[in-house]
Chain A
Amino acid sequence: MTTNRPKEQPIDPRREIPRLTSNVKAAGCAAKISAHELKQILAGLPKVHDKNLLTSITNFEDAAVYKLAEDQAVIQTVDFFPPVVDDPYLFGQIAATNALSDIYAMGGRPILALAIFSFSTCDYPLSVAAEILRGGADQVVRAGAIVAGGHSIQGSETLYGLAVTGLINPKKMLTNGGAKAGDAIIMTKSLGTGVSLLALKAELLAENERARLFSSLTTLNNRPLTVLSESEIDIHACTDVTGFGLIGHIHEMTKASKLSARIIVSSLRFMPSCLELAREGLVPAGSYGNRKSFESNVSYINDLPLEVTDLLYDPQTAGGLLFAVAPRDVEQVLNKLNKEHIEASHIGHFLEGIPGHIDVTVR
């Protein structure tokens, strides 16, 4: 892809600047430590008990929520990763979109962010660093919050992200738990950013496919919930689809809600070309890690092509929201969101059953 550096930037002609993604092993949320490894790492940590802590680490919530008063709680989250694109401004925007998403997934609104930044000033000009931070800060402003500071270190691998603080009324908090048997699962955005980012790195995406990918990666997850809360639609549970892929995040919802789920493949939306790309072997390492971590919870009722199941495990960067609503609200939810040009589909439902179990069917 073409880099979008500002023209006034002084570049030493004797020194070749490496691509921002050149020393990155795994991109975006695909760089996450897999769920089964993470469980082993976290197993020995002291258990925390505080009556004001409204989230539990065992439910793998998107963010921590701490009650300050009866009607106010603070939400905190942190998220950072290596560059997923070569354009530094775009990378900053994507990382911020991804970090802010955890606040929205809890039903909150972001107010404050601090930047986390690892960068090698020997390998890249300072203007690249400035562009990354500017991309992130612009996106935070777009979300109605501010970047109030941050911390930076010299590091051989570029990393950028945000620690974000948000606010919420505890009674309106949305967690992985709370879904009811029969609830419909609604997903916003399309699946396949993991495969698409790999294809981007391999320079296999057409111009329109890149534009589509970048637009998805920089779309904040604030609007779906704003639109629905204005219509007073009751959302029972919510999360965002990120590193653990669709299956991993639905699994967390089913476990926390003590239900099973059914995903209907024909109702899923995929990014353009990504099924074909996965079929040819453009599958990120994180997808295999997710398959390993979650496959024992899944049964495929029909024999699905490998590339389809690859996409179900595809780690998403700045992915969409997953939420549970009563079946009678589905039509209204989809109408409202479509009217606002928000991509959304009804991808399955929660059922009474073995907690954590997921059936995948064609239709």
Chain B
Amino acid sequence: MKKQLDLRGLTCPEPVLRTKKIIDDQAVLSVEALVDSEVNVQNLERLARSQNLFVKKESLGSHFRITMDRKKDHSQKDQADEVESGKELSDQNMQTAQASLARGGGTVVFLPKDTFGQGSDNLKDYDFSHNLLNVFLQTINQSGHKPSAVLLANSGVRLIDPGASTYKVLCDLKDGGTTVLACGLCLDYYGLKEKVPLEQITNMFAICEYLFAADQILSP
């Protein structure tokens, strides 16, 4: 039996309660619920996981469709796949979500400073070294190579300051599908935290996951 629920307009905890009532009936094999807030999506994902259900989320513009299925109705192979995707969906924890994205590997560009190498005189040659990094990023962007992620740490986070010359090329890379992330502690240290969108702020755990999952790491 498949059930459909329209939970739009309801506030927490109502969507969870109504869905729980439906899935408590073992005869219901699948539930499709419409909700209109991210909080309700995440709460329904938690509910599904606690009940051992496979859960799928689709964004439909102004709202979301959450589909929950009982696992026993699928073949063994599917089940294994679903456990995997179910985990990815329900781990809303940013770190694990990002870490699971990182599983893809690919080429990761790791920039733990805001220069390309280091000149012979640190202070005098800084501008040159910094500009060289800008050229490096622009060359990557135009080369057709697509890194899976660009990770910024320590003074490297200055590259994503909207006032920096490198800001534009990082935006272009991001628009092209590269994940561009900056270390939160570092942003905080350099006073840039309010200037960077939250979804691009990450932590050391995720940075490590990306580095370990990478097929190759470029760090000029």
Q: Which residues of A contact B (CB under 8 A)?
A: 25, 36, 39-40, 43, 198-199, 201-202, 278-285, 288, 291-293, 295-300, 306-307, 309, 354-357
Instruction: Select which of A280, A284, A297, A300 is within 8 A of B47 by beta carbon.
Output: A280
Known contacts A198-B13, A296-B203, A299-B204; A354 and B189 CB within 8 A of each other: yes
Known contacts A299-B203, A299-B205; A201 and B188 CB within 8 A of each other: no
Q: Compute how far the CA of A288 lies from the CA of B92 in the bound complex, rounded to whole angstroms.
A: 10
Instruction: Select which of A284, A297, A306, A309 is within 8 A of B185 by beta carbon.
Output: A297
A312 to chain B, nearest CB (A): 11
A-B contact pairs, 10 of them (CB 8 A): A39-B194, A281-B13, A281-B43, A288-B39, A295-B95, A295-B184, A296-B185, A300-B205, A354-B185, A355-B188
B171 to chain A, nearest CB (A): 20
Known contacts A297-B188, A306-B91, A309-B93; A201 and B194 CB within 8 A of each other: no
B202 to chain A, nearest CB (A): 6
Known contacts A39-B194, A202-B17, A280-B16; A357 and B185 CB within 8 A of each other: yes
Q: Compute how far the CA of A185 lies from the CA of B39 in the bound complex, rounded to whole angstroms.
A: 31
Q: Looking at chain B's contact residues, is the secondary structure mostly helix, strand, loop, or mixed?
A: helix
Within 8 Å CB of A40, what residues of B?
A: 194
Q: Looking at chain A's contact residues, is the secondary structure mostly helix, strand, loop, or mixed?
A: helix
Within 8 Å CB of A295, what residues of B?
A: 93-95, 184, 203
Q: Which residues of B contact A (CB under 8 A)?
A: 11-14, 16-17, 20, 37-39, 42-47, 49-51, 90-95, 183-185, 187-189, 194, 198, 201-205
Q: Is the CB of B50 within 8 A of A356?
A: no
Q: Compute how far the CA of A299 lies from the CA of B184 in the bound complex, rounded to whole angstroms.
A: 11
Instruction: Select which of B12, B188, B203 is within 8 A of A198 by beta carbon.
Output: B12
Q: Is the CB of B92 within 8 A of A306?
A: yes
Within 8 Å CB of A309, what residues of B?
A: 93
Q: Is the CB of B194 within 8 A of A202?
A: no
- CB closest chain-B residue, reference A304: B93
Within 8 Å CB of A354, what residues of B?
A: 185, 189
B95 to chain A, nearest CB (A): 7
